[in-house]
Amino acid sequence: MKAVRIAHRTFALPRLPFWAAIFITAVCFVILALSGWREWTSRDVDLKNAEVDMANLARSLTQHAEDTIDLADATLIGLASRLETNGTEPAAIARIQVFLAQRKMTLGRIRGLFVYDETGRWLATTEGVSLTGLNNSDRAYFQHHRAVDDRQAFLGRPIKSRSGSQWIITVSRRFNHPDGTFAGVVLATIDTAYFTQFYRQFDIGPNGTVTLLSADGILLARSLDDGTLVGRDMSATSLIRDRSSRAPASAYYFKSPLDGVQRLSSFRFSEKYPLVLLATEAQDEVLARWRQGAVVRTAFVLALTLFIGIIGIYLVRQLFERQRTAGALAAKEADFRLLAEESSDMVTRVDLNERILYASPSCARVLGWDPAQLVGTPALAGVNPEDLPRVAQAVAALKRGDVEEAKILYRTRHREKAEIWIETSLRVTKKTDTGMVDGVVAISRDMTEHKDLQDKLAALATSDGLTGLANRRCFDERLHQEWARAAREGAPVSVLMIDIDHFKEFNDRYGHQAGDECLRAVGSILSTQARRPADLAARYGGEEFVFLLPNTDAEGCEQVGLRVGEAIRGLVIPHPMKLPSKVVTASLGGATAWPTDASALDGASLVGAADRALYVAKGAGRDRLVMSGQVAIWPQAKSA
């Protein structure tokens, strides 16, 4: 590396002003340091007191949550014991139903009790609903108990009750036949609203919150909740992500991802259940009283320090100013030359006519042009026409003095390669005598590889790795966009839900590798059927797929669904367990909606209607398409 030595004159500073400046600076520094130390100590005391309060609250509310689940589990233990002793014959179930009806008024925190047989069929419940045709074999807690032979209570993720449409937390247990085989599930539900209302009783400030989460980061209840937070996945937060390296209970400072408020909190992981309780206060509210006092005290100290400083600065200012100005100008010029000549980034200076005055040697590596070939040429000559207005607007703002710095990413020509992506940081230069803007310094680097990597990562984040279709996240975002667009334009939106028939039996017989091949084949069919640019086929989860059809009415949705079902059947994938066809088939549910401005914020009703139609198709014998009627909330569809 070439060394650069700069020689310049400095102005001699009299000894007395020099030492006077040091003394005055030291006095001001000591005063400010002592004041700052006192204020910081006072602030720390307030925070420590708040940590203790939150720790006590977290401990108490964790015990409350454990007691609530214990209460539900105790009821389930007795209920399971009755079922295992008396069996599930109609007479025994009738007695169980009487027992549940008697207990309904004394359940307290428990919302409801349910009994399901080994197929998921409802046997008894405290809810006043008809049990005919109700089946909960699709619920996660039922599938867990059917697959895992243990006698422990299972605390499930929050779900929306089909019998009441409210968010609930499920506590369930398995009960067995006398020979030890799976006989069914007993379930107790607790409204998340119960915890929300209970937590709101505690006075922890307008922005203080109490939050109950599952150990894997699913939000169960929160004292400040507008109805959209229950069920949200918070596993990406450091509290859950770094759980293995944390103590079971401790203080925790963080910026809430839900409302952006900086919070002081205490968390506690339950020792009995997969739960974590987070009690928080807004840090600004904790420090409000300290801040008010600190402002008054600090203002006084600053006024005193300012008075002392002004007297001292006035005495030595002129001498220091002359020396600093001369040194700064020489150092600035030397630093610019050194950085420009040795930097791997391309450095250019541009005048107010947008002509290049200087280009560093690295421009040969970045753009393929020698510095001599660039000097005197228009600075924006190679910019892509699509990006040119944006770049020109940024440069114009700098020239007018609206801003002093800017950073832009754009495409430009390379002498030998194809078009490349360039990131340029711009900063204005000013005349030393008038302070007026006289040009711009630009530091540019090649970002082509970085931009390509960003594009690849963006594609991976929205696609399913097995089938290559869009993933659930991408589908939800597109559904929201298309729903809003349809509301504005008065156009229809349709959704098809597709479920491979008896896929579990296919997997059990042929293995997961064959199952993956089957899913890929079905995914290929759906990708082929997405014939319009706006159509979107996505993997919804497991063996379930979804098809978004914007600007498609019910008739068009039905035609697409029939083509999809026929194409899947036409794959002729052997499936002996699927009778009578003995090939892989699919059940489809379709729904169409005409959104209005009032409903344009939520397309969940459309997906729910298609899902209900899918279950009707499965219940009617599978390998068929069923179209839903009018999309609306269906409170009569009772299920826990």
Residues 591 and 471 in one domain: yes
Query: Do 222 and 196 form a contact (C-beta atoms < 8 A)?
Result: yes
pLDDT, one tens digit per residue, over 244-284 is: 888 999 998 888 888 888 999 999 999 999 999 999 999 99
What sections of 343-471 are H helices per DSSP?
363-366, 371-374, 388-400, 448-461
pLDDT of residue 459: 62
Residue linked to tokens 């020792």: 271
For the beta carbon of residue 129, count every other beta carbon within 10 angstroms: 17
pLDDT of residue 598: 58
Q: Which domain holds residue 399?
A: 343-453
Residues 512 and 550 in one domain: yes
Give the CATH number of the domain where residue 538 resides: 3.30.70.270
d(CA 293, CA 299): 10
In a domain, 332, yes or no: no
pTM for this one?
Answer: 0.45
From 260, 285, 310, the end of a domain falls on 285
Could you tell me the two tokens for 88?
A: 């599930």
pLDDT of residue 9: 42
DSSP 543-593: TEEEEEEET--HHHHHHHHHHHHHHHHTT--B-TTSTTT-B--EEEEEEEE
Give kind and range of the element (H or E) at residue 293: helix 288-342
Query: Do 494 and 592 form a contact (C-beta atoms < 8 A)?
Result: yes
From 285, 306, 334, the end of a domain falls on 285
Residue 205 identity: G
The number of CA neighbours under 13 Å toward the Cβ of 624 is 11
In a domain, 140, yes or no: no
In a domain, 353, yes or no: yes
From the number of C-beta atoms within 10 Å of its C-beta (0-12, 13-18, 19+), residue 457 rates as exposed
φ, ψ for residue 415, nearest 5 deg: -65, -35
Residues 437 and 466 in one domain: no
Residue linked to tokens 């495409």: 411
Residues 486 and 409 in one domain: no
**Residues 6+ positions from 302 with CB-CB distance below 8 Å:** 32
In a domain, 565, yes or no: yes
In a domain, 295, yes or no: no
DSSP 87-117: -SSHHHHHHHHHHHHHHGGG-TT--EEEEEE
Could you tell me the two tokens for 307?
A: 């008075």
Residues 508 and 622 in one domain: yes
Residues 362 and 483 in one domain: no
In a domain, 596, yes or no: yes
pLDDT of residue 386: 79
Give the CATH number of the domain where residue 384 resides: 3.30.450.20
Tell which residue, 102, 99, 94, has the closest CA to residue 79: 99
Tell which residue, 199, 244, 249, has the closest CA to residue 225: 199
Residues 474 and 618 in one domain: yes
Q: Is 374 left (phi over 0), alpha (psi -120 to 50) or beta?
A: alpha
Strand, coil or helix: 610: helix
Residues 528 and 557 in one domain: yes
Residues 530 and 592 in one domain: yes
Residues 415 and 513 in one domain: no
Low-confidence ranges of the chain (pLDDT < 50): 1-13, 600-601, 630-640
End-to-end CA distance of the chain: 74
Residues 504 and 622 in one domain: yes
Residues 391 and 486 in one domain: no
Handedness of CA 546, 551, 556, 558 (dihedral sign): positive
In a domain, 504, yes or no: yes
In a domain, 240, yes or no: yes
d(CA 393, CA 402): 11
From 430, 453, 476, the end of a domain falls on 453
Going by the DSSP 8-state scheme, the letter that residue 367 receives in this structure is T
User: What domain count does the chain have?
Assistant: 3
